[in-house]
Every structure is written in structure tokens, then in C-alpha cells.
Structure 1
Amino acid sequence: MVALRIAQVVPYCSAAFGGGYEYELSRALVKLGHEVTIFTSDRTPYRYRLSVDEEEAHHKVRIRRFRALLDLRELPVPPSMLPGLLDEDLDVIQTSEPFQLCSLYAALASRSRGVPLVVSQHLYYKPWDPLKRLGLRLSEALYGRFVLSTAKRIIAISTAARSYLKEKGVEEGKIEVIPIGVDADRFTPTAEPYGPLMEEAEGRKVILFVGRLTGYKGVKYLLQAFSRLLKEYREVVLCIRGDGPERPYLLQLESKLDLRERILWLGYVANRDMPSLYTSSNLFVLPSLIEPFGISALEAMASGRPVVATRVGGLADLVEEGVNGYLVPPCSIEGLEEAMLRILEDEGLERRLGREGRRRAERYFSWDVVARRILSLYGELL
């Protein structure tokens, strides 16, 4: 395939914070010999602005930022993005989520310039936040259907997202399931252990959770399952990396369950230290009630760690029951306890599940594999 000029259109992109789906995909596409420009706003999800005066380049990925006049509940409005897109010579435009205003600009540029549009769909549920639910309904009514009708193909990152699109009336032949990828060269079973965690664990086995401390992550069920687990298996600690609005409640629950000496609250751990954190654990648990994909679970798989997760969203695609981990129903304290205990009590099983998780991550989910699948999809449109 000849080198393509590709636009990735996204509301936010900060390479300093890991960049997200579009940035990592762009890096993989550049490695395969293509030119990629990310069109984004000057905002971040953390509510501060980035410079729009100069173009950025990270790992040969060009980034153009446009000033957002408003940021409506994580929906930045950068009106100068549309002229910016129209100024570029492009072969393909890709954007994420049809309800984003940036996706409207991508669709308008696609129609104006005759450039094929690809939309990636991550959401498969209605947002919990009432204002976000209202915003989603309004955006779908005002321009979401226009974006979907303009798109030549729609990438669903999970089978759950595909089902969501079909319920919205999108024809099945227009949808292709292509997952989010993982940097399998960075997240490996051979990464050096994370020193601070190893010191705190004091030789005990480690159960790891990585994620935001909010209700839909289901951490309260993990704490209750861990409390039950300790009655059967004592030489283990629970490590929680992350912060969020539910932290005060979880600390109260920790005290109520008498787990103060058993839980390590790491809070923020730098992105550069995450591979080491995963390899310092014996198993990874993600007890979410909803989960668009489950990137942390995929990173744990690539790091050679067994995964216990709930059967929701993208997690049902990542974990193959009894092969690289176990799936349990959401909110199931008993299910979480039984799955964790099964792995902790059998070191041979722990190693086998970890090996298979690594193999599965390399074979199906590495960014190189994902980028090649997306390039093949682009090729069908040109």
C-alpha cells in the first residue's frame, strides 16, 4: 500500500498523559510508513489549555491544536478545526464517537472534500451522568445520525459496541469489530518489578486493581470479595492504583471490613512505571459494572498476568474463560472471591493463564496487528 495521509480527529490529545486510542494508533500507523495528523482541541480532560501557537510532533505524529471556545461537559467546541481539516490534503479521515462535535467537523470535511470517513465507536451504554445522557440525546438528534450516515465504515472496539450500533439502526455490513491495541514491547512479563510495591508487599502475593475510583468500576465489590478471600488465603495484599470520588467511601469500607493492613492505596503511579507495577502482581482484577474496553486488563495480559474481570463490555472480548483468566457476573462478590482464590492457590494455573494472556495480547491486540487491520479497512475504501 502506498503511504496514506491520514487525519485522526479527537476532542483531546495529550501525549504527556499517554495520548489515548487515537495517539497510540497514529504511532502504529506512522511506524508502518504512513503520514498521520491528529486534529484536536487545545483542552485536556483535566480542564487546562495547551498551546495552539505551534504544531507538535511526537514519535513523528503531527498534532494540530485548535482553540476551543467552550467545553460542554467534556465536549470541546473548536470551530476553527473545520477550516483546518479543509486546508489539508487527506486520503482518509477517522474520528471517534459520532456524538462528539469534532466528529461533526470530520463528517463535514469528508463530504466537502470527498474523503472517506471512518468512525470508531467505543460507547455501548447510556452515560450514568444525567447531563451527559441529555447531551448524548441532543447530539444524536442534531448531528449524530449525520455523522453515522457519512461514515463509510464504523469500527466497533468491542462486540458490545457493535450490538449498540445495530440497536441504533446501523446496518451490520457497515460495522467491523477491531479492538483497541496494546504496546506489547512496553508491557512485557520481563519488566523490572515496581520497588515501592515490592517493599510494601513483604513477600506476600499481590492482587492488583488499576482504574478510577468511581461507582461503575465496582471496587466496593472487590473489597468485599477480598475480605472473604482472606478467610481462606492469608498471604496476600490488595494493591489499588488510582483515585477518584469514591475513595472516601472505600476507605470507610476498608475500616468496616478491618482491611487496613491488607490494602495498599498507591494513588497516582507515573505512566512510565506502569509496566513494572503489572509485573509486580500475581493477578489483575477489574470488577467493573460497565467497561467500554478494559485497557488496564489488556496491559495486564500483555504483562503476563492472569485477569479476573466482570462479563461486561469489552472485557468479555479480552478474557477467554479458563484460558487467560476468568469472567464473573457484575456485582458478584462470591464470583470474584472464587476466581481469585482459584488462581492464588495454584501457581501452575497462575503461570499458564499468564502465558496465554501474553500470547493472546501479542496475537490479537498488539498495536501493530490492530493498525494493520485498520489499514486493510482503509484500503477497501480507496
Structure 2
Amino acid sequence: MILESFSPNSKKGGNFRCCELSKNLVKLGHDVDIISMKSEDNDAEHEVLNGVHIYRIGPTRKQSENIVKYTVLNYVKSILLWLRKHDYDIIDIQSRSSSIYTTLVSKLSHAPVIGTVYELNNDDTETLNKFVNKVSIKKYDKVLTTNESTKNELVNKYEVNPDKIALMSIGVNLNNIDKIKCKTKNHDRILYVGTLTAHKNIDHLLTIICHLKEVQPRIKLVIIGDGPEKEHLEEIVMTNDIQDHVEFIDHVSQDELIYQMKLANLLVLPSTHEKFGILSSTANACYTPTIAYKSKGIKEVIKDKETGYLVKPENIEELEEKILYVLENDDVNKTLRKQAREYIENKNNWDDITLSYINIASKLVNCSKL
């Protein structure tokens, strides 16, 4: 698996998917290497975690800056040298900047290529980047994506054969979640988890709290995360005198996050842009339904009116109505909880996802040997 950066402790989409999928592949007897750039917080050239070999090659990527052309070119050169010296049965590429080069090298080595595409950049100012991605994506032997929206874009805008595309969600480790115990739910507790940036619209939640505290005097919004909007959000809380109804928590461990999700009555995500929906999947596994603005990644995870509610983006009034409806109707809440957990068990567990991945990879390897 090739990425631009990899941290085994990160719970962000691409990193989390690679970590969990590779770990499960190793458990089933497969050898997995993860290739990435070096990073400031971890420059170890080689380490083994859960049986997965992690190799960091090429330049060191600084956390404080976006990847620059010089760094990309050096990393690409390192990938080319690496792939010439190592034989693989299959190559999984998640590094868009280097995808066209690794695709060409893999063709020379006769290894089939799986390209994992989480999201497409359709910014017209990046014409060259779009062209490179379009060329490289069409060269993949198989394209994996996590949502139907991206699949449609691949077909309609990138002219990828739909038969080459497979949907593969990012799973949830149910065993790890079930190990964390929480004896009860706080029915007045609403949870937000994520970075505190403008497009996350946490201020919408604060507006809603200002209204709902009049009819739900014990309501509590817990905000887990940090970011550039934090100071502004704290000012809103002070100005509206809702300190008793809002709590900020900067950072939590993964176990504490699971506990907080189990304790909460609802997870609310008012973001207009969510790529993966991992948080909602995790909440579902914790028997906690999600109410969210309908965005690309999240709508693949929430089944409207079954496992939670999807709301038209920026519609604060409707978001407030859905939150109040669930808080005031215990039967509705119990049904949503039960269905949310069942949905994850049937669709987003890593065992089934791993077997599906193996099936796809095996077919590609067998075809390449014909």
C-alpha cells in the first residue's frame, strides 16, 4: 500500500483504513508492506506493527505545510527505486500525487494495481492535477471508493468504466468498541466530534442550544476537538450565557472517545463536507444515532429515518427540529439506536470488508497470470 503519509495512531480516513485493512490481511496469512514518506513525528525507516511492515522512504514531510512539488518529485523517485527492487503481487495506491508514476512502474513489473480513491478534486484551477489524476485513475486495474457519489464522478467526469469500480466502506472494529463499558446513556447529552473549522458549522449547534435550553433545560452539548474556530466558538458561548450547556474537550484517547459516544444520546455533525463518515459509523456501533447535514461521505453511512437523520445543508431550523424530535421521543431514539448498530454489524464490519478486498485482489492476481 502506497500513501504520502502514514501514522498508525491516526484515526483519520485513509490512515485508519490502511491500518485496519492491513492488520486484518496479515491475520489471514497475507504479507503487507505500507510505503510512505518520512514525517517529523516519526522518521523510523522501518517498523513492524501487528505484523505489517511499514517503510518510510524519500524526503521528510513537515506537518505544518502542504506537500510541495519538490517533496513530491523526491518521493516519486524513491517509490520508483523501491518498486524496481521489490516484487509485489498487488499494489494498492492511495497517493494521488505519485499515482501516475507508480502505475507505470507497476505495469512494467506486471503487478495489478488497485487505486483507492476517497475523493476527487474538481477545482477548475487545478487543470494539470485533474488531467494527471484522470490519466492515472483510468490505468488502474481496479478502483475502490467509499461512496456512491465519488463512483458517479469517476464514471461521468473521469470516464472510468463502471465495471472497474467497487464500493468498499471503511469499517468499524466492533470488538474494540464493545470492550469499552458505559452503563447508561445521558438522554440530555449531544456530542460533536471533529476539527473546529468554519465548514464544520459548530456555530449552528450553539445557535440550536440557545433555543433548546428553553424547552430542554438540562441539555448539554459536548464538543470534542480543536481548531482555528475554537476561540470564536467560546466567545459565542460566553456572549449567549450558555456555559452550563456547552463543554469543550480538546483531545481524548480512542477509548475515551468511544466512552463519550456511548454516553451521548446523539451525535450531531453539521459539516457541509465529510469524506468518510467514520465518526457516524463509530457512533452507530455505540448505539448512538447521528443527525447530520447531507454531505457526500456522511449520506453513505446514515440511512435517513432508519439509523439517524439527514438534513439539508445549512438548514439550521430543520436540524434543530430533528434534534428536538429525537430528544422528546424515547421510542424513536431506541429504534434508531437498534437499527444503527444492526446496520454497522451487517455492512461495516472489518471481517467482511477484508474478505471482499481479498476477493477483488485475488481475481486481479489470477488474471495477471493468464
Task: State if a TM-score over 0.5 links the two structures.
Answer: yes
Shift of 1:82: 2.1
The one-letter amino acid paired with 1:250 is L
Q: CA deviation at 1:70?
A: 6.1
Change (3 A) 1:70 1:282: closer
Aligned to 2:82: 84
Partner of 1:51: 43
Q: Is the 8 A contact 2:196 2:227 kept in 1?
A: yes
Q: Which runs of 5+ in 1 are unaligned?
A: 1-7, 128-132
1:126, distance to aligned residue in structure 2 (A): 4.5
Q: Is the 8 A contact 2:261 2:286 kept in 1?
A: yes
**What is the number of equivalent residue pairs in this alignment?**
354
- What letter matches 2:86 in structure 1? E
Structure 1 residue matching 2:5: 3-state secondary structure: coil
Letter in 1 for 2:85: D
- Please list every run of 5 or more consecutive structure 2 residues that lacks an aligned counterpart in the other structure: 366-370
Secondary structure of the corresponding residue to residue 174 of structure 2: coil
Q: Which amino acid aligns with 2:165?
A: I
**SS in structure 2 at match of 1:238:** strand
Q: TM-score by structure 2 length?
A: 0.89
Residue 271 of structure 1 deviates from its aligned partner by: 2.3
Q: CA deviation at 1:145?
A: 2.8
Residue 29 of structure 2 aligns to a residue whose secondary structure is coil
Partner of 1:170: 160
Q: Percent identity?
A: 25
What is the Cα deviation at residue 359 of structure 1?
1.0
Q: Is the 8 A contact 2:146 2:170 kept in 1?
A: yes
CA RMSD after TM alignment: 2.3
Letter in 2 for 1:107: T
Partners of 1:52 and 1:65 within 8 A in 2: yes
Letter in structure 1 aligned against 2:291: V
Asked whether 1:100 is paired with 2:89, we answer no
Query: Where does residue 175 of structure 2 map in the other structure?
Result: 185
Asked if structure 2 preserves the Cα contact closer than 8 Å seen for 1:293 and 1:314, the reply is: yes
Q: Distance in 1 between matches of 2:67 and 2:317?
A: 36
Could you give the per-residue CA deviations for residues 232-288 of structure 1, whole angstroms, max 9, x where no partner exists? 222220000001111122122222333222111011112232211211111111111
User: 1:41 aligned to 26, 37, 41, which one?
Assistant: 37
Which residues of 2 match residues 109-188 of structure 1 at below 5 A? 109-124=105-120, 126=122, 134=125, 136-141=126-131, 143-166=132-155, 167-188=157-178
3-state SS of paired residue (1:56) = strand
Task: Give every structure 1 segment of 4 or more consecutive aligned residues whose post-TM-superposition deviation is greater than 6 Å.
Answer: none
SS at match of 2:342: helix
How far did 1:361 drift?
0.8
| Kept after mapping to 1: 8 A contact 2:187/2:327 | no
State the alpha-carbon separation in 2 of the partners of residues 105 and 229 from structure 1. 54
Rounded to whole Å, the distance in 2 between the matches of 1:294 and 1:152 is 26
Instruction: Report deviation, 1:69.
Output: 5.8
Provide the rounded CA distance (Å) in 2 between the counterparts of 1:229 and 1:163.
39
User: What SS does the aligned partner of 2:291 have?
Assistant: strand
